């Protein structure tokens, strides 16, 4: 525990000024931090996605190399750590953060992230942040930012965690959640899925708090994983036969030649494994028609579609949102995938007409938080119940579209039990579908637990926390 009495004396809590104070200055010459700050602002003001905004800013302003890497690290890091940063910043001001000007708060988060979670020297982190605030909001706001950040420099991240986190003995989940910058309810959901609030939970949250490697999927029939690894300087993935891992700092993977040429796609290895698992389930009789019932933007549909072509099957894809259906068509290129814009619960497709069906259902995405840095602070516990209802309805519909003896893969990128085994157990009971042991369709993947479902984890498998269950329609 930190000895609070021995902490170096810190400046008094800072008072935020009201509105712009003093004359604004011209923009500062700090393209990386300015790009990060502008992205944080878009995320806060417009509910934008950082992974869509930042690459656009970098391209538009021609920011490359070390500046682009720094902007990316600061943006994603500040967003991921936001709850922890806010708790620290709140301890350094005399008013609730809700009363601090939003633009100043963005800068404070950026500054606090540099102070607590990077090796950037404290004086540089404070001075560069204060310069940004002065240019944007004037000298009064700059003074406030300076006072707050000087207070943050008083101790390191571990000591701040001890100060702002719930007590570890009375609320171990709240403590580990704060220490790894996760909302408590998400840490609770992870704990329930892992069956542990101890070391496995800490490892899971810590892995979820790291910037992940970029995963690519080579398109079957077009390019092998080894060829893709050679083209991109990456490494063949440990489990997916089509997967390649790239260093996280490798820039926008959408710009890679093999991705532009549709020889490969950006896709988490866990997603690849779940799609491929569906093709590995043995079927008796016909195996000609495959369906993806929630297909946009098309990642799994394209992988399945490529495998369908190789095995002589046809591929249909259903997507409710028209613009996401367009993304499937774009991703598919000349692959023969028939795209239907429809609600998967009432698609109008032939009942019993398909041999293999994928339900990659809409979900909270709690298993892919490391790839969507702002998502953990946007999602709410109240999101779970309506999604679980929709998931049940989609899975039930899939079990009418698949023929007797055919197989349905239920996949979500969340480990939340209400969206995973809760959905599958309920639908399997009501439809009398056979719940197959999915583990055998993930050959070579270790540590898959007791089954019959598969739950992948970043800390165990290096993938997103994908869930997969296999159901066979009774004959």
Ligand X SMILES: C[S@@+](CC[C@H](N)C(=O)[O-])C[C@H]1O[C@@H](n2cnc3c(N)ncnc32)[C@H](O)[C@@H]1O
Stretch that binds ligand X, among 103-111, 120-128, 219-227, 314-322 (CB under 6 A): 314-322
Stretch that binds ligand X, among 47-55, 60-68, 117-125, 320-328 (CB under 6 A): 320-328
CA atoms within 13 A on the CB side of 319: 20
Stretch that binds ligand X, among 17-25, 33-41, 293-301, 333-341 (CB under 6 A): 293-301
Angstrom CA distances, 112 to 83, 131, 155, 178, 370, stand at 12, 15, 11, 15, 20
Closest to ligand X by CB, 113 or 441:
441
Helices (H), 402-461: 421-431, 458-461
Angstrom CA distances, 232 to 227, 236, 261, 445, stand at 9, 11, 13, 24
Q: Is 121 annotated as a binding residue?
A: no
Q: Is 294 annotated as a binding residue?
A: yes
Closest to ligand X by CB, 157 or 343:
343
297 binds ligand X (CB under 6 A): yes
Determine phi and psi for 220, rounding to 5 degrees.
-55, 135
Q: Which of 310, 321, 385, 475 binds ligand X (CB under 6 A)?
A: 321
Determine the Cα–Cα distance for residues 149 and 162; give it in Å rounded to an integer: 18
Q: Shortest distance, CB of residue 386 to ligand X, whole angstroms?
A: 11
Output the six-digit token pair for 422. 């809760």
379 binds ligand X (CB under 6 A): no
Q: Is 136 annotated as a binding residue?
A: no
Q: Is 295 annotated as a binding residue?
A: yes
Of 459, 448, 396, 419, which Cα lies nearest the Cα of 274?
448
Active site residues: 413
162 binds ligand X (CB under 6 A): no
Could you tell me how many residues make up the chain? 475
Closest to ligand X by CB, 142 or 390:
390
At 319 the three-state DSSP class reads strand
DSSP character for 361?
-
Q: Is 319 annotated as a binding residue?
A: yes
Q: Shortest distance, CB of residue 412 to ligand X, whole angstroms?
A: 7
Q: Shortest distance, CB of residue 410 to ligand X, whole angstroms?
A: 12
Determine the Cα–Cα distance for residues 50 and 79; give it in Å rounded to an integer: 9
Closest to ligand X by CB, 393 or 434:
393
Q: Which of 10, 13, 150, 324 binds ligand X (CB under 6 A)?
A: 324
Output the six-digit token pair for 166. 């719930």
Window 333-362: contact mask with ligand X (x via CB under 6 A):
----------xxx--------------x-x
* Contact criterion met (CB below 8 Å) for 292 and 331: no
Q: Shortest distance, CB of residue 435 to ligand X, whole angstroms?
A: 21
Q: Shortest distance, CB of residue 344 to ligand X, whole angstroms?
A: 3
Determine the Cα–Cα distance for residues 221 and 403; give it in Å rounded to an integer: 28
Q: Shortest distance, CB of residue 288 to ligand X, whole angstroms?
A: 21
Judged by CB under 6 A, how many residues of this single chain contact ligand X?
A: 18
Q: Shortest distance, CB of residue 319 to ligand X, whole angstroms?
A: 5
Q: Shortest distance, CB of residue 269 to ligand X, whole angstroms?
A: 13
Q: List the beta bridge partners of residue 15.
A: none
Q: Is 460 annotated as a binding residue?
A: no
401 binds ligand X (CB under 6 A): no
Q: List the beta bridge partners of residue 14.
A: 93
Of 439, 414, 409, 413, which Cα lies nearest the Cα of 424?
409
Determine the Cα–Cα distance for residues 303 and 281; give it in Å rounded to an integer: 16
Of 367, 368, 412, which Cα lies nearest the Cα of 387?
412
Closest to ligand X by CB, 343 or 434:
343
Stretch that binds ligand X, among 162-170, 241-249, 290-298, 448-456 (CB under 6 A): 290-298
Spell out the residues 6+ positions from residue 456 whose beta carbon is closer than 8 angstroms to its own.
Answer: 270, 273, 367, 445, 463, 464, 465, 466, 467, 468
299 binds ligand X (CB under 6 A): yes
Output the six-digit token pair for 207. 């892995």
For residue 355, what is the enclosing H or E element? strand 354-360
Q: Is 297 annotated as a binding residue?
A: yes
Stretch that binds ligand X, among 128-136, 159-167, 218-226, 288-296 (CB under 6 A): 288-296
300 binds ligand X (CB under 6 A): yes
CA 52 to chain CA centroid, nearest Å: 13
171: left (phi over 0), alpha (psi -120 to 50) or beta: beta
Residues 212-271 interacting with ligand X (rule: CB under 6 A)? 271
Closest to ligand X by CB, 162 or 360:
360
Closest to ligand X by CB, 318 or 395:
318
- Tell me how crowded residue 307 is: count the other CB atoms within 10 A of its CB: 21
318 binds ligand X (CB under 6 A): yes
Closest to ligand X by CB, 134 or 356:
356
Which residues of this protein are in contact with ligand X, per CB under 6 A? 271, 294-300, 318-321, 324, 343-345, 360, 362
Binding residues for S-adenosyl-L-methionine: 294-300, 319, 343, 360
| Binding site residue list | 294-300, 319, 343, 360
């Amino acid at each position: 525990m930190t000895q609070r009495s021995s902490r170096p004396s810190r400046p008094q809590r800072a008072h935020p000024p009201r509105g712009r104070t003093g004359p604004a200055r011209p923009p500062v010459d700090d393209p990386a931090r300015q790009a990060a700050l502008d992205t944080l602002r878009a995320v806060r003001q417009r509910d934008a996605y950082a992974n869509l905004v930042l690459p656009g800013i970098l391209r538009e302003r021609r920011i490359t190399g070390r500046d682009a890497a720094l902007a990316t690290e600061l943006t994603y890091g500040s967003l991921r750590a936001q709850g922890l940063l806010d708790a620290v910043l709140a301890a350094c001001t005399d008013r609730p953060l809700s009363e601090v000007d939003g633009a100043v708060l963005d800068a404070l988060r950026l500054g606090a992230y540099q102070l607590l979670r990077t090796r950037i020297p404290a004086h540089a982190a404070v001075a560069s942040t204060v310069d940004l605030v002065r240019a944007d909001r004037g000298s009064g706001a700059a003074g406030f930012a300076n006072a707050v950040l000087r207070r943050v420099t008083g101790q390191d991240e571990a000591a701040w965690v001890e100060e702002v986190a719930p007590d570890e003995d009375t609320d171990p989940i709240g403590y580990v959640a704060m220490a790894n910058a996760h909302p408590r309810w998400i840490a609770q959901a992870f704990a329930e899925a892992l069956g542990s609030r101890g070391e496995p939970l800490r490892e899971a949250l810590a892995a979820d708090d790291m910037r992940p490697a970029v995963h690519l999927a080579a398109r079957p029939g077009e390019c092998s994983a080894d060829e893709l690894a050679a083209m991109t300087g990456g490494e063949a993935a440990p489990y997916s036969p089509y997967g390649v891992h790239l260093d996280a700092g490798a820039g926008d993977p959408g710009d890679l030649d093999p991705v532009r040429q549709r020889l490969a796609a950006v896709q988490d290895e866990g997603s690849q494994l779940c799609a491929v698992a569906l093709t590995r389930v043995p079927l008796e009789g016909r195996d000609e028609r495959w369906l993806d019932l929630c297909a946009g933007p098309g990642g799994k549909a394209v992988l399945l579609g490529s495998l369908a072509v190789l095995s002589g099957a046809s591929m249909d894809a259903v997507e409710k949102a028209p613009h996401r259906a367009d993304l499937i068509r774009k991703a598919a290129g000349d692959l023969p995938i028939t795209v239907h814009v429809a609600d998967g619960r009432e698609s109008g497709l032939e009942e019993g007409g398909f041999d293999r069906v994928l339900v990659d259902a809409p979900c909270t995405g709690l298993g892919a938080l490391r790839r969507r840095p702002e998502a953990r602070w946007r999602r709410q516990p109240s999101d779970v119940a309506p999604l679980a209802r929709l998931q049940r309805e989609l899975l039930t519909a899939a079990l009418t579209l698949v023929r007797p003896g055919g197989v349905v893969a239920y996949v979500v990128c969340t480990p939340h039990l209400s969206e995973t085994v809760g959905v599958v157990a309920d639908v399997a009971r009501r439809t009398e579908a056979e719940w197959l042991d999915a583990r055998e369709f993930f050959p070579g993947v270790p540590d898959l637990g007791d089954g019959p479902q598969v739950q992948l984890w970043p800390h165990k498998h290096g993938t997103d926390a994908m869930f997969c269950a296999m159901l066979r329609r009774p004959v």
